[in-house]
Every structure is written in C-alpha cells, then in structure tokens.
Amino acid sequence: MGFSFAVSLFALVSCLTLGPMTAVAWPSDRPNPAAAPRTSNDAAVAHWSKTYRIPASWVRAVWAYESHIRLGKFTRLNGPRRELWLGIGNPGQTDPASVAVFDGVGRDGDGDGQCDLRNPYDRTCAVLDYLARGGRTSSPEIRRGLWEWYRDGAVVERITAFSSLFATHSPEELKQHAFPLPLRSDYTYRDTWGEARGWGGRRIHVGTDLFAPYGTPVHSTAWGYVENKGWNSYGGWRVGIRDISNTYHYFAHLSGFAKGLHVGEIVKPGQVVGYVGSSGYGRKGTSGKFPPHLHYGLYVDAGSEEWPINPYPHLTQWEREERKQAGRPPGIRR
C-alpha cells in the first residue's frame, strides 16, 4: 500500500507542477479526462478530438488504424516497445500512476485503470497524447509526429490516407463494398481457399479465383487508396487497395490497369481499377500460363505482418447485395 500511495502522490504532484506539456498520466484515483466513452466510435472520436484539439478526421484515422489490428499471441506492434510504454525500470505496473512515475508513454484510453498495450483505446489515446503534447495539430506536424511515434513510413501514409477519406466522407458511406466484376459479365467462381498450388514451391491458395473473359473490367471492392500497383512474379500485374478497416484488397493476374490509376489514389466501390488477364508465374510480362481470371485476396493487419483471410464469404455477400440492389438474378458459382 505504501508504494501505491507514493506513486499516486508523486503523479498528482507532477500533474499540478510540471504543466500540460509533460508526459504524465493522471493518478488512478482521479477521473481521466482523456478516457473515451465506449458507447460508440463516434463518441470516442468526438471526445478525443475535443480533449486533444486534433481534427476529428485525424483522430478517426488513428483509431481506424489501431482498432483494426488483429492481435495474436506473438504480434509485434508498430510503435514504442513495451519497456518504453510502461517506462524504463517499471517492474510491470500498468496503472496510469505507475506508468507516469517511470515516464512511460502508455495511456489509459478507456478509463479502466490500466495502460494496456494490447488495448486499442489505450494505444490510440497514447498516440493522440503524444501529438498534442508536441503541439502538433496541423497536417504536416501530425504527419511528422506520427513518424516519430511509429517509425514506419507505410503506417504514416496509411493513416494520412484514412484521414483524407474521413475528411470528405461519412464513416457509414466508407463502409460500402462492391463485387469485383460486373454483374452482367460472364463469370464463375467457387471457394478455392486452401487448395494446393505448385508454382514457386508447394503452397496453398490464399484467395478466390473468379474466372471471366480476358479484358473484363475489375472493380474496386471498397473505399480506400491504391497502396500497390505493378508487377510481382506470382500475381503478375496487380493492384493492392487498403480500406479504412485496415484491410488490404489484392487484385492479381490483370491484363492491364485503368487509365491514370496511380499509387496513393483514392478509389471507391465499383470503380474500374484494371482488367482480367492471365499474367504472372514468371518474369515481368509473363502471361498465358493459365486461363484468364481474377485472383482476389484479403489481408488483415497483424501489426508487423499481415494475415490472409478467406475472401469467398465476403464475395458472396457483396454479390448478393449488389444483385438485390440491381434487381438481377443470382450469378453462377461452380
């Protein structure tokens, strides 16, 4: 009890004497003004934006990134290491007062009395607190602060693109999806997840193949931005789109790209991004080793890596919803 009392007293005195620019958390026996309500994402974003005086689009972008990381047992998160999160020399105490004593960067973002590195509320709150303490409220300053925090240019670009989307579209609008091929086109597909593949060594199929005539337009399946465009030996000509749920949509074996499409471009559901082909399985320009089709994949962020998930259930849902809106009969699935 003596240690806990001393920690709380130290943190309280620090808050009163060191000023708002010092990295000090609130003691555990007092309300935390930065703790966000868990009633809804909108409420949390509004609260943090007001508390830290950071534009809501940036707050929502940081939350979108942090809240959509799939954590596993061995996940390595981007950002400060655990010892910096809790503070150098901290024996493992995660309450805000102890973290403050050891000058840790962790924060209690939801008012549960813990600075938990695996809690997206706490991680989001810590990022925003770092930005606010440095007076970083303009877009260039926020980008610079994000780089200092994550030390990863890809993460900074991702959050920046999310902010651009949230600044011009509502969260509900950004949840819309589309089937990747025109409903009127002649296509077939089935669940090929986990099937054996041999080119490039024994491996399993981590996607869904949609067979369609050469040159059939390929549509973006979500609101997002073009993260990758170009050639790789397996997928041939491919496009990668990152959506606001931090999910990567992978379109491979294309015959070409939509005119003017470029990395960083904001795209919407149904927008043409390329055309069905049979490229891949070899050096740049290789084509014709298999029938024309679209390989479609989905990958979720797992911190320092990405995990593939089966896209087939999503495809059937998006196809069903789009046909219902268009008044068209069900498509063909082999």
Listed in sequence order, the DSSP H helices in 119-275 are 120-133, 139-150, 153-168
pLDDT in tens, 37-83: 777 888 999 999 999 999 999 999 999 999 999 887 667 788 888 88
Contact of 311 with 253, CB cutoff 8 Å: no
DSSP state of 277: B
pTM: 0.85
pLDDT in tens, 147-184: 999 999 999 999 999 999 999 999 999 999 999 999 99
SS3 334: coil
- How buried is residue 333: exposed, middle or buried, by Cβ count under 10 Å (0-12/13-18/19+)? middle
Contact of 237 with 231, CB cutoff 8 Å: yes
pLDDT in tens, 231-253: 999 999 999 999 999 999 999 99
Residue owning tokens 């934006």? 49
Listed in sequence order, the DSSP H helices in the chain are 2-17, 41-52, 56-67, 82-86, 96-101, 120-133, 139-150, 153-168, 312-326
Ordered structural domains, the chain, with CATH = 2-168 (no CATH), 175-326 (2.70.70.10)
Distance CA 16, CA 20 (A): 9
Residues whose CB is less than 8 angstroms from the CB of residue 235 and which lie 6 or more positions away in sequence, other chains included: 250, 252, 253, 279, 280, 295
pLDDT in tens, 273-294: 999 999 999 999 999 999 999 9
Strand partners, 296: 208, 251
Instruction: Indicate the pLDDT class of residue 296, thresholds 50, 70 and 90.
Output: very high
